Amino acid sequence: MKTPKNIFTNGAITPDFIAASIAKHATKTNIGAHSIFLGQVRADELNGQQVAAIEYTAYTQMALELAHTIREQIFAQFPLTCMHVYHSVGVVEAGQICLFVFTSSAHRHAAMEACNVTVERIKSELPIWGKEIFTNQTHRWKKPNAPV
């Protein structure tokens, strides 16, 4: 098996990194559409406490292997030109980006559908956990796949 690409970045995914990733595709003239998902940490209020940040941890090797499998399956399912996935580990403050999924194809429907399926699979299948850190420095572990 090919060595899985490292999808993890320490801390927040910066706007400069996202812009540079998009800019690198300007020379790929066989691409007609890009779809981008940006997951951002929300400053939710829970039980009277506001979320200041989320600290992400992962079972890295398993997550990378599963991410590689998901990538291969998405490429088999959709006519993509390329796909990039980046997920934060470590502390990401409210308002910062923690997940960046970028799919490209000759046509918009494939790019958009592949992006959506990829995000849903990452959220439901990868062993990544988030510890919500509140402004008063208490915390709670997010429930997997629980919309809040």
The one-letter amino acid at 29: T
Residue 126, domain member (yes or no): yes
CATH number for the domain harbouring residue 56: 3.90.1170.40
Q: How many helices (H) and strands (E) does the chain have?
A: 3, 8
CA–CA dist 94, 106 (Å, integer)? 35
pLDDT band at 7 (very low <50, low <70, confident <90, very high): very high
- Whether the Cβ atoms of residue 42 and residue 123 lie closer than 8 Å to each other: no
Total domain count for the chain?
A: 1
pLDDT band at 147 (very low <50, low <70, confident <90, very high): very low
Residue 147, domain member (yes or no): no
Residue 80, domain member (yes or no): yes
pLDDT tens sequence across 58-82: 999 999 999 999 999 999 999 999 9
pLDDT band at 148 (very low <50, low <70, confident <90, very high): very low
Neighbour count for residue 25 (Cβ, 10 Å): 15
pLDDT tens sequence across 19-30: 999 999 999 999
Could you tell me the residue range of the domain that residue 72 belongs to? Answer: 8-22+31-141
Residue 148, domain member (yes or no): no
